Structure 1
Amino acid sequence: MKSTAAFAAAALLSGADAFWRMPCTSRTGLGRIDPLVEPDEVASHAHTIHGSGNFGWDATYDDLVSADCTSCLVTQDKSAYWTPPMYFVHENGKTEIVKQVGGMLAYYLLYGEKVTGFPAGFRMLAGDTRRRNITVPVPDPETSAWGAEDKTQAALEQKALGFNCMNYGKPGERTLMRHGMPTKEYMDANCVDGIRTEVFFPSCWNGEKDSDDHKSHLAYPDLVIDGTCPEGFDKRVPSMLFETIWDTNAFNGKPGQFVFANGDPTGYGYHGDFIMGWDEKFLQDAVDQCTNPSGLISDCPLFNIQSEPEASTCNFTMPEILKKEDCAGPSDGLCGNVPIQYGEAYASALKPGKTGEATGGLAPKPTEAPEQPTVSYIAATSAVTDKFGGGISVLAVDPNGAAPVASDLPYSSAAEVAAAAVTTTAPPAPAAPALTPAPSEKAPVGKIISTSTYTSAGIVYEVAIEEIAVTVTVEADGSPVPSAAAQVYKKRHAHHHHLRRDREHGLLGRY
């Protein structure tokens, strides 16, 4: 006979059944173009753009899908993804773009039931370019302690930004832990592998393809990443996360400041834009069928995957008026002479087609800036990360209900997992009787029959269900006596399974 053993406690929150992450390993262009917010004119600030080769002033769905190339690795994805790039302003006022490491990752996380793929013509924006302050508690309390003030849409939008300090030799920081830029001094001392910016998009949908502000047709679930959708937004679309690693350590020890293209040195005004560019039926098929828990595009048979060199040849045609504008630098001031504005007040609006005043140097810092959480680094037991960063924190859960333990899953940074593991607590597990298998018994080998994930305190947990053949001895009175070896195996197998699966994917040690 067979028995089914779970690798986690029984009472678990429901979560994403699957996801994939789309590597867009090179950009299609860099310039002051924004067809979503400022169509048909020179945008107020620069963007780094990924995806369809038909991006432009007034790019529509039809324009994007008709492109003959994409800078993302799945050739069927002609979507457009863009965010403001990060710059470094030297002490003398010279400004240059900070290099992206591995391009950009776009996560498609499938939370909720009956997830609907984006329809043709769907567009959305996350974040607020003029925000320069934060009104939510720092650091975030545990989600179990969130009150009504934590679950307003304004609060959730602020919580949907992340700025992770990257150091693959030490424990990292969980997804969306820090909602603004750490100080340069902190980055110089700790972030030897750069800063990872994260912007999470709302996934609760009212059925409209767009809205006047490109936001109002969507809402965040009450825990940002997952949770309960507000009334009127009962449909679920893929939960999207844009993730970019910036090589800030290239400026270690150099006097100056980091600032985004919209003149934001705080990070609170970071934002992301998206125009859907998939064939509508194909995307729905991918949502329904690309359910391998690895999140790797290579594990979805629907996807046609091109090489990174092939993707790097995809560039959109820069409008003539912008061809001489150097948005990469070094140059004087930000691209378009955008002024740097700290706040704490709401930043003044930037006008499309216009330029501001060149800063001529560093922007003055406010006397009282909101503090951002930092972490006390502890030596990591593992320094595994995938090639492109992989921002979703995942923990394996002890089958006896003890605290989560680090798991080298192929879609997580083990440094990040270790950090989450040491800060996560759980009720102590009841003592289990010691069982000693007979020398002749061997641990049974099972197979994974289903996997799922759930979110708690901003961390995504994976649950794997393994079916194991169990030998049962029947006493004279008919009562079963389970094999001691099988019981021991069920208690100890969870973490080892995940390690073995990672080795099968060949991702250990990749940077």
Structure 2
Amino acid sequence: MKSVANLIAFAGVANAFWRMECHSRTGVARLDPLVDPEEISSHGHVIHGGSNFGAVTTYEGLRSSECTSCRVRQDASAYWTPTLNFIHDNGTTELVPQIGGMLAYYLLYGKDIQAFPAGFQMLAGDTRLRNFSGPVPDPEKSLWGPGDKTQHALGQKALGFNCLNYQKDPEPSMYRHFLPDKGYMDANCVDGIRAELFFPSCWDGKSLDSKNHMDHMRYPDLVNDGTCPEGYETRVPSLFYETIWGTDAFKGVSGQFVFGNGDPTGYGYHGDFITGWDVDFLQSAIKTCTNPSGNIVDCPLFDIQTEAEGAKCTFKQPKMLVADNCEGPSDGLCGNVPIQNGPGYASPLAPGNGEKPTGGYTPPAATEAPTSFAPVPTLSYTTPKSAITDKYGGGISVLNVNGGAAEPSEVNAAETPAAVVTSNAAEAPAPTPPPAAEQPEGKIISTSTFTSAGIVYEMAIEEVVQYVTVDAPAAKLRKRHHHHMHRRDREHGLLRY
């Protein structure tokens, strides 16, 4: 006998999105055409997107790229963030393995969303920041006051370092705004760390860039969504970067994780973006690519290439960087970047030895390994809470959109930007989930989606064959349908909004 439970219809409007898959890098290099144009950048970056990337990168140049490392051929945009490195006790430094490249979510929050105009570029995050000025963990969004909604505070909350353990339900996105220390990662983050970054989506409607690459943009008052400030009412797609770093490869190895800009805390994590979309095409995608799955294959406009094809796309390494070894193993961070722990604002980094891209390059001298690091707060591993999804087993909502309470943590919460937040309690062990009930193996026969409070959930119907003993002479074969809600791609932490 077949029985299928009725799906419950929930109120709410889905916020459409698509997930741009950039499984391969175009390169690793000390290049940053936004912050250090025409020069060697101060620190190393992992770079994805269009092949026409270099010390000078223009919209027109990206549009004429021969290829892209992302899956959609029409997207020649450039996406880049700092490298994550592991420094051994003897100073030897190597790039942490990047798992699955990076994902750039195009989240369509707000009304009348406008495509990025030709020449548009922006930066999110502050490379010199080494502190978090708010309470840890974040209060419920419904309790946010004016201090939580300043652009400085919103920018700090736009960072996340998701502790990955695929044997547990996932942590909420942007739950932890700092890089956990290595001891915590070794004990809890058995599948690595997912670095997350939300870009502002409120635009002044006229400027393609600004002096600091940020002033033409503002965050809405809930970071990912909400109300835009006056003068910045034009909504553009909400960009969200996520990169999985295989920190688990260094479990039990003595040393420290440090981002390429010399930041061991994560507070200085940042990212850059230069659009490489045809404006009219992107505007059509905004109107058309609204399948709640978020999968690029569900958008009829996209010309999708294979991962293998994208992996062949690289940019030409500038001559002055040929001797660089940003992937390591090497002595110290690429560019001989000093490690600055904070909590004070880090000193600015000069572009790489002040050299222009026309000259030669001499590798920098080795950097000594750091001897100590500033403490970071402790946040126990936690999973999202949702009264609606708990009835289906919970662990579905990965972004605390409506301000559900996070797990409490005993910390001293500083209220001024100059103070560092440190833990005053011993690190609590990660909670051990109850053993999963044994389920007979089945197969997924269909999926569907529904929304609640602006969050899109996916429900899978699994067909399971069970033999049931009854009073009749022979056992009857039954096919039973189980309903599960889950992320389509757990490894990459697919967001559901």
TM-score band by shorter chain is: 0.7 to 0.9
Partner of 1:311: 310
Let me know the Cα RMSD of the aligned residues: 3.1
Change (3 A) 1:61 1:404: farther
- Pair 1:236 & 2:235 matched: yes
The Cα shift of 1:326 comes to 0.5
Partner of 2:189: 191
Cα distance between partner residues in 2 of 1:309 and 1:277: 21
- Pair 1:374 & 2:399 matched: no
Partner of 2:9: 7
- Pair 1:129 & 2:112 matched: no
What are the superposed Cα offsets for residues 298-346 of structure 1, whole Å, 9 maximum, x if unpaired? 0001001101110000000010000111111011000010001101110
Q: Which runs of 5+ in 2 are unaligned?
A: 1-5, 355-363, 408-446, 460-481
Partner of 1:174: 172
Partner of 2:156: 158
The Cα shift of 1:137 comes to 1.1
The Cα shift of 1:496 comes to 3.4
Partner of 1:218: 217
Instruction: Please state which structure has a larger fraction of its residues in helix.
Output: 1
Partner of 2:360: none
Cα distance between partner residues in 1 of 2:452 and 2:322: 46
Partner of 2:348: 349
Q: Which amino acid aligns with 2:290?
A: T
Contact 2:27 2:47 in 1 (8 A): yes
Cα distance between partner residues in 1 of 2:308 and 2:157: 36
SS in 2 for 1:354: helix
SS in 2 for 1:196: strand
Q: Which amino acid aligns with 2:379?
A: P
Cα distance between partner residues in 2 of 1:34 and 1:143: 34
Change (3 A) 1:352 1:120: same
Partner of 1:496: 483
Tell me the percent identity.
Answer: 55
Cα distance between partner residues in 1 of 2:366 and 2:179: 22
Which residue, 14, 18, 26 being the options, matches 2:16?
18
Contact 1:340 1:359 in 2 (8 A): no
Q: How many residues align?
A: 417
- Pair 1:55 & 2:61 matched: no
Cα distance between partner residues in 1 of 2:311 and 2:484: 36
Change (3 A) 1:408 1:156: closer
Contact 1:404 1:421 in 2 (8 A): no
SS in 1 for 2:147: helix
Cα distance between partner residues in 2 of 1:118 and 1:335: 32
Partner of 1:94: 92
- Pair 1:64 & 2:62 matched: yes
- Pair 1:27 & 2:25 matched: yes
What are the superposed Cα offsets for residues 341-393 of structure 1, whole Å, 9 maximum, x if unpaired? 10111001100132887431124223xx341422268xxxxxxxxxxxxxxx8
Contact 1:338 1:357 in 2 (8 A): no
- Pair 1:397 & 2:388 matched: yes
SS in 1 for 2:352: coil
Using the size of structure 2 for normalisation, the TM-score is 0.78
Cα distance between partner residues in 1 of 2:169 and 2:22: 26
- Pair 1:337 & 2:336 matched: yes
Cα distance between partner residues in 1 of 2:386 and 2:305: 31
Cα distance between partner residues in 2 of 1:509 and 1:362: 32
Which residue, 124, 130, 139 being the options, matches 1:141?
139
Using the size of structure 1 for normalisation, the TM-score is 0.76
Q: Which runs of 5+ in 1 are unaligned?
A: 378-392, 425-446, 465-494
Cα distance between partner residues in 2 of 1:299 and 1:394: 29
Contact 1:111 1:226 in 2 (8 A): yes
The Cα shift of 1:209 comes to 1.4
Cα distance between partner residues in 2 of 1:323 and 1:18: 42
Q: Which amino acid aligns with 1:397?
A: I
Cα distance between partner residues in 1 of 2:117 and 2:229: 21
Cα distance between partner residues in 1 of 2:263 and 2:42: 13
What are the superposed Cα offsets for residues 70-99 of structure 1, whole Å, 9 maximum, x if unpaired? 000011100000000100000111000001
Partner of 1:323: 322
Change (3 A) 1:146 1:405: farther
- Equivalent runs, 1:422-461 vs 2, <5 Å: 454=453, 460-461=455-456
Contact 2:385 2:405 in 1 (8 A): no
Change (3 A) 1:156 1:422: closer
Change (3 A) 1:220 1:509: closer
SS in 1 for 2:320: helix
The Cα shift of 1:17 comes to 2.5
Q: Which amino acid aligns with 1:174?
A: P
Cα distance between partner residues in 1 of 2:369 and 2:310: 37
